[in-house]
C-alpha cells in the first residue's frame, strides 16, 4: 500500500533527540578518567584530532593532526620500473608458469610509508584533590568532550568552523601548571624539541617545536592560553594562579624550517570576539577577554556545522531506557542489547565525521597516542578505507566523501606515474597503501605484490560515483578520473585467451593467493569486476563514440567462473584453486559495493557468490573481515549471516570504552575499521538502493525486531525514513527529483514512480 502526502519541512535536526539521555542516545559516558590512551574520548574536525583523558588532577589532551607523518626514508621512493618486462611475465603466466609473477619485481626490500604519529599532549596539572562526583562524557551532537569533578569542569572540542582545538576549564583550582608535553609512547629519543612561553595580555603563548631526526621537516604546536588568573613562568610551561576560568586554543602545523609563531598567534587572537578592539588589561591577573563569551562564540560557530551533519541520519531501536543510561563500559558487555547497537551506530557516525576533512580516516581514524602505529597508521586502500567510508553516501555524510575525494584527486599525478612505470600504460593505477602524502606504488613484497593490483582506481572511485548518483549530478573531476581509469584498461587489455576473451594478466586478488599458485596470477575476480565497471561507468560519464568503444572493450572480458563446489571462484582462470581461509573478500567486489551480481538480475551468480561466502573463513578474526562479510551477506539477503558477522564483532571485545575499536578481538591493535564500518552494515541490512532499484528490509537481523532509521539517502535521489515492528513497516520517501524505480520487498517486486517534492508513504506487511 502506498499513499502520497504533501511535502513538509525536513529539518536536518530531528526534534527532541539532542544530548545525553535523550532517545536515541547521542553520546557516551564513563564514571572515571581514562587510564589508557586507547580509552580516551575522541573529537576531531577532519584535520585536528583530540584524545581526552579527563583526569581532574592531570588533565591530558593528546593532539593529533592528519598531516603528521614521520619521515622514514620513503619520501623519495618511486614505483618499480617494470614496463619493459611486462610482456615476458604475461607470456609465462599465460603459458601456465604459476610462479612466473615472483620475478615481476625489482627485488626491493619492503618499505613502509611514513608513519602517522601524535603531536604532543596538552597537560593541566594541579595538586591532587578529594574525588567528588566524577563524570566524563562525549556529546556526539556537538562534538564536546566534557569532564566534571565537583565544581571543576573541563570541555574540549575541535572546531569545524575555525580549525582550532578549544579547551575550556572552569574552577581549575588555586594553581595549575600548563605544558605542551611531547613525551608520548614511542617518541624518538632523538626528536629535537624546543619549548617556548611568552607572557601576553590575554595570558600566555605556549609553543612546542619538534624536528624529526635527520630531517629538515618539523612540526609546531601553538597554544594561546587565555585566563583571568596570574601567569607565572614554570618551564617548560607556565603556572596559573587564582584563576576562575581558562581557555586554551591550540593548532599544529607541519613544515620545513622554522614556523612563523607570531603569525599563528595573530590567527588565534582573531578567533576571539572583538579581536583588535580590546584595551590592555588594567592590572595583572585580569584578561581583556570575556572567556565565557569567547568559548560560547567558538562553540556556536562549530556546532552549527557539526550538529547539522551528525543528525542527518539517526537510528532508534526502541532500546530499554535503563540500558541506554549505562556508561559504555557497562553496556559493551551486553552484546545482545539494542542499546549497544544504537550507541555504536551513533558513535560510528560521530567518529567517522570527526575523522574526515583534510583527508578521510586512516587505519586509526584521526587518532593515536603512540608513535609506533600498526601498519604506519596509513590508508590501506585495498579494503579498509572503503569499508570505513561505506556509509558516507547513504548516511548523508558528504563531508566524508569530499575527504575521500581530496585524497584521490591530490594523488592522481602519482597514479599516472604508477601506470607508466609498472605497465607502460597511460591512465592511472592506485596504490594499496599510502601515507596521504604520496600515491606512488613502493610498498610491496613477494607476499604482498601490491604493485600489480589494477582494480584499485575503480574501487576507490566507486564511492564518488555513489555520491554523484545520490545527489543527482556529475562531478567533472570524477569524470576526468574515470576517463583516465578507462584509458589504462585500453592500453593494458591486450592479451586474449583461446576463446577470444581479454585476459587480465598479471592479476592479483588482495591479499590472497590461489592454493596451487603464487600471488601474481591471471584473471582475479576483483580485477574482472573492476575493469568491467570502470569501462562501463566511464562510458556513462562520456557518452558518444568513446562510450561505444569502451563498452565494446568491456564486453570482451571473460565471465566469472563457478568452481566445482558451486562457489564464485576468486580467480576466473581455470586450474587456479581457491584459498578460503582469508580475511579479505576481494572476489565478491561484484556483489558489494558493485551491483554486478545480485539476487534479482543474476540469480545464478548470486547463488555462487553466496556459496563462496559460506566457504570463506575468518582467518585471524580481523574486524574488517567480519564486517565486509556482513556487507556482502546483506546484498545477498542473508539476514542470519549478517547477524552472525555482527555478533562476532559485538561479542569479540573489539571496542574500547571510547567506542573506538581494535583490529583484532580483545581490543588488540587500535583501529577504526569496526567503529566506522558498523553503521554501513546496519543501513545495508535495512535499505539498499541503485539508481533504478529500492530494496527494503533485505537482511534485518531478528535481534532487531523494531526501530526507526531516519534520513537515509538513496541513489535515485530520495530521502527515506523507515519504521518497523514485527507487525509491519512504514517507509516515507522524500524525492528531490522525479524517477521510476523497481521496489523490492519480501512480497516481491513492483514499479514505483516518484515525483520531486512529493512524499510517498509505503506500508509493508510482516516480513
Q: Output the pLDDT for position 25.
A: 75
Q: pTM for this one? A: 0.95
The span from the first CA to the last CA of the chain, in angstroms, equals 14
pLDDT tier at 767, thresholds 50, 70, 90: confident
Q: Output the pLDDT for position 711.
A: 98
Q: Output the pLDDT for position 19.
A: 38
Q: Output the pLDDT for position 740.
A: 98
Q: Output the pLDDT for position 21.
A: 37
> How many Å apart are CA 535 and CA 518, to the nearest integer?
28
pLDDT greater than 70 at residue 281: no
Q: What is the pLDDT of residues 418-457, one digit of tens each?
A: 999 999 999 999 999 999 999 999 999 999 999 999 999 9
Contact present, 421 and 81 (Cβ < 8 Å): yes
Label the pairing between strands 693-696 and 739-745: parallel
Q: What is the pLDDT of residues 580-617, one digit of tens each?
A: 999 999 999 999 999 999 999 999 999 999 999 999 99
Q: Output the pLDDT for position 203.
A: 96
Q: Output the pLDDT for position 14.
A: 35
pLDDT greater than 70 at residue 7: no
More reliable by pLDDT, 133 or 506? 506
> How many Å apart are CA 12 and CA 398, to the nearest integer?
14
Three cell numbers written together for 742: 523497481
Contact present, 696 and 722 (Cβ < 8 Å): yes
Q: Output the pLDDT for position 3.
A: 53
pLDDT tier at 262, thresholds 50, 70, 90: very high
pLDDT tier at 128, thresholds 50, 70, 90: confident
> How many Å apart are CA 636 and CA 628, to the nearest integer?
13
Three cell numbers written together for 322: 535503563
What average pLDDT does the structure give for the chain?
Answer: 94
- Largest interatomic CA distance in the chain: 90
Three cell numbers written together for 566: 558451486
Q: What is the pLDDT of residues 145-159, one digit of tens each?
A: 999 999 899 999 999
Mean pLDDT within 677-693: 98
Q: What is the pLDDT of residues 309-335, one digit of tens each?
A: 999 999 999 999 999 999 999 999 999
pLDDT greater than 80 at residue 280: no
> How many Å apart are CA 119 and CA 594, to the nearest integer?
39
pLDDT greater than 70 at residue 750: yes
pLDDT greater than 70 at residue 766: yes
Q: What is the pLDDT of residues 24-50, one digit of tens each?
A: 479 999 999 999 999 999 999 999 999
Mean pLDDT within 473-488: 98
> How many Å apart are CA 682 and CA 634, to the nearest integer?
9
Mean pLDDT within 83-107: 96
- Give every CB contact of residue 279 below 8 A, 6+ residues apart in sequence: 288
Contact present, 575 and 528 (Cβ < 8 Å): no
pLDDT tier at 6, thresholds 50, 70, 90: very low
Question: Which segments of 228-272 are extended strands (E)?
Answer: 230-234, 237-241, 245-256
Q: Output the pLDDT for position 580.
A: 95
More reliable by pLDDT, 366 or 131? 366
Q: Output the pLDDT for position 83.
A: 98
Q: Output the pLDDT for position 527.
A: 98
Contact present, 468 and 395 (Cβ < 8 Å): no
Q: Output the pLDDT for position 622.
A: 95
- Set out the domains of the chain in order of their start, with CATH numbers: 31-69+119-310 (2.70.98.50), 86-110+389-578 (1.50.10.10)
> How many Å apart are CA 79 and CA 111, to the nearest integer?
11
Three cell numbers written together for 288: 581583556
> How many Å apart are CA 159 and CA 304, to the nearest integer?
10
pLDDT greater than 80 at residue 10: no
> How many Å apart are CA 451 and CA 589, to the nearest integer?
19
What's the Cα-to-Cα distance from 640 to each of 334, 614, 707, 708, rounded to whole Å? 19, 12, 18, 20
Residues above pLDDT 70, as percent of the chain: 95
The radius of gyration of the chain from alpha carbons, rounded to an integer in Å, stands at 27
Q: What is the pLDDT of residues 606-646, one digit of tens each?
A: 999 999 999 999 999 999 999 999 999 999 999 999 999 99
- Determine the length of the chain: 767
pLDDT greater than 80 at residue 286: no
Give the helix/strand (H/E) hosting 639.
helix 639-650
Mean pLDDT within 64-84: 97
Helices (H), 424-497: 456-471, 476-492
pLDDT greater than 60 at residue 520: yes
279 burial via Cβ count (<10 Å: 0-12, 13-18, 19+): exposed
| One-character DSSP codes across 385-419 | HHHHTTTTTTTT-HHHHHHHHHHHHHHHHHHHHHH
pLDDT greater than 60 at residue 278: no
Give the helix/strand (H/E) hosting 676.
helix 673-686
pLDDT greater than 80 at residue 22: no
Q: Output the pLDDT for position 129.
A: 74
Mean pLDDT within 511-534: 97
Amino acid at each position: 500500500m502506498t499513499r502520497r502526502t504533501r511535502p513538509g519541512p525536513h529539518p536536518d535536526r530531528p526534534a527532541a533527540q539532542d544530548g545525553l539521555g535523550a532517545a536515541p542516545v547521542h553520546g557516551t559516558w564513563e564514571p572515571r578518567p581514562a587510564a589508557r590512551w586507547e580509552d580516551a574520548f575522541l573529537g576531531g574536525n577532519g584535520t585536528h584530532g583530540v584524545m581526552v583523558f579527563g583526569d581532574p588532577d592531570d588533565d591530558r589532551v593528546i593532539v593529533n593532526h592528519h598531516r603528521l607523518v614521520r619521515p622514514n626514508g620513503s619520501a623519495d621512493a618511486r614505483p618499480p620500473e617494470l614496463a619493459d618486462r611486462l610482456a615476458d611475465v604475461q607470456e609465462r603466466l599465460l603459458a601456465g608458469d604459476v610462479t612466473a609473477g615472483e620475478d615481476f619485481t625489482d627485488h626491493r626490500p619492503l618499505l613502509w610509508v611514513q608513519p602517522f604519529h601524535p603531536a604532543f599532549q596538552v597537560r593541566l596539572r594541579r595538586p591532587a584533590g578529594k574525588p567528588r562526583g566524577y563524570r566524563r562524557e562525549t556529546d556526539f551532537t556537538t562534538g564536546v568532550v566534557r569532564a566534571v569533578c565537583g565544581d571543576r569542569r573541563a570541555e574540549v572540542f575541535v572546531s569545524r568552523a575555525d580549525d582550532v582545538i578549544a579547551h575550556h576549564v572552569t574552577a581549575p583550582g588555586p594553581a595549575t601548571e600548563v605544558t605542551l608535553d611531547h613525551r608520548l609512547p614511542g617518541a624518538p629519543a632523538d626528536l629535537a624539541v624546543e619549548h617556548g612561553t611568552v607572557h601576553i595580555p590575554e595570558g600566555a603563548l605556549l609553543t612546542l617545536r619538534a624536528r624529526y631526526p635527520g630531517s629538515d621537516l618539523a612540526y609546531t604546536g601553538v597554544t594561546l592560553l587565555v585566563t583571568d588568573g596570574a601567569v607565572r613562568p614554570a618551564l617548560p610551561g607556565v603556572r596559573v594562579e587564582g584563576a576562575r576560568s581558562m581557555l586554551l586554543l591550540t593548532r599544529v602545523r607541519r613544515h620545513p624550517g622554522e614556523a612563523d609563531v607570531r603569525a599563528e598567534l595573530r590567527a588565534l587572537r582573531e578567533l576571539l570576539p572583538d579581536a583588535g578592539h580590546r584595551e590592555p588589561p588594567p592590572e595583572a591577573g585580569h584578561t581583556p577577554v570575556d572567556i565565557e563569551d569567547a568559548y560560547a562564540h567558538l562553540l556556536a560557530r562549530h556546532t552549527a556545522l557539526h550538529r547539522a551533519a551528525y543528525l542527518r541520519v539517526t537510528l532508534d531501536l526502541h532500546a530499554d531506557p535503563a540500558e541506554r543510561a549505562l556508561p559504555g563500559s557497562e553496556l559493551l558487555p551486553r552484546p545482545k542489547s539494542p542499546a549497544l547497537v544504537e550507541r555504536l551506530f551513533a558513535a560510528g557516525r560521530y567518529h567517522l565525521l570527526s575523522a574526515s576533512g583534510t583527508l578521510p580516516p586512516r587505519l586509526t581514524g584521526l587518532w593515536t597516542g603512540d608513535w609506533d602505529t600498526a601498519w604506519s597508521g596509513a590508508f590501506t586502500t585495498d579494503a579498509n578505507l572503503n569499508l570505513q567510508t561505506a556509509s558516507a553516501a547513504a548516511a548523508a555524510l558528504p563531508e566524508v566523501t569530499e575527504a575521500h575525494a581530496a585524497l584521490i584527486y591530490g594523488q592522481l599525478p602519482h597514479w599516472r606515474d604508477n601506470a607508466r612505470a609498472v605497465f607502460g600504460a597511460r591512465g592511472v593505477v592506485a596504490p594499496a597503501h599510502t601515507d596521504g602524502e604520496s600515491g606512488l606504488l613502493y610498498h610491496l613484497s613477494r607476499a604482498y605484490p601490491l604493485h600489480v593490483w589494477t582494480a584499485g582506481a575503480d574501487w576507490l572511485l566507486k564511492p564518488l560515483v555513489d555520491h554523484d548518483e545520490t545527489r543527482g549530478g556529475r562531478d567533472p573531476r570524477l569524470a576526468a578520473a574515470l576517463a583516465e581509469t578507462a584509458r589504462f584498461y585500453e592500453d593494458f587489455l591486450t592479451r586474449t585467451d583461446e576463446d577470444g576473451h581479454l585476459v587480465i594478466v598479471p592479476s592479483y586478488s588482495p591479499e590472497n593467493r590461489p592454493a596451487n599458485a603464487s600471488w601474481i596470477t591471471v584473471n582475479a575476480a576483483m580485477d574482472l569486476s573492476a575493469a568491467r565497471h570502470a569501462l562501463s561507468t566511464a562510458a556513462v560519464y562520456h557518452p558518444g563514440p568513446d562510450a561505444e568503444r569502451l563498452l565494446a572493450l568491456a564486453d570482451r572480458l571473460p565471465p566469472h567462473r563457478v568452481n566445482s563446489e558451486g562457489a564464485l571462484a576468486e580467480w576466473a582462470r581455470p586450474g587456479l584453486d581457491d584459498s578460503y581461509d582469508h580475511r579479505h573478500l576481494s572476489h565478491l567486489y561484484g556483489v558489494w559495493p558493485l551491483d554486478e551480481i545480485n539476487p534479482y538480475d543474476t540469480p545464478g551468480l548470486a547463488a555462487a557468490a553466496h556459496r563462496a561466502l559460506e566457504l570463506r573463513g575468518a582467518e585471524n578474526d580481523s574486524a574488517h573481515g567480519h564486517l565486509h562479510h556482513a556487507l556482502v551477506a546483506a546484498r545477498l539477503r542473508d539476514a542470519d549471516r549478517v547477524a552472525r558477522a555482527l555478533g562476532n564483532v559485538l561479542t569479540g571485545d573489539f571496542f574500547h570504552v571510547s567506542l573506538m575499536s581494535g583490529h583484532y578481538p580483545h581490543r588488540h591493535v587500535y583501529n577504526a575499521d569496526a567503529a566506522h564500518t558498523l553503521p554501513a552494515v546496519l543501513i545495508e541490512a535495512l535499505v539498499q538502493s541503485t539508481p533504478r532499484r529500492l530494496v527494503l528490509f533485505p537482511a534485518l537481523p531478528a535481534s532487531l525486531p523494531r526501530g526507526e532509521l531516519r534520513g537515509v539517502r538513496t541513489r535515485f535521489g530520495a530521502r527515506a525514513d523507515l519504521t518497523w515492528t514485527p507487525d509491519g513497516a512504514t517507509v516515507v520517501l522524500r524525492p528531490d527529483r522525479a524517477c521510476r524505480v523497481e521496489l523490492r520487498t519480501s512480497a516481491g517486486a513492483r514499479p514505483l514512480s516518484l515525483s520531486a517534492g512529493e512524499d510517498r508513504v509505503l506500508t509493508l506487511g510482516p516480513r
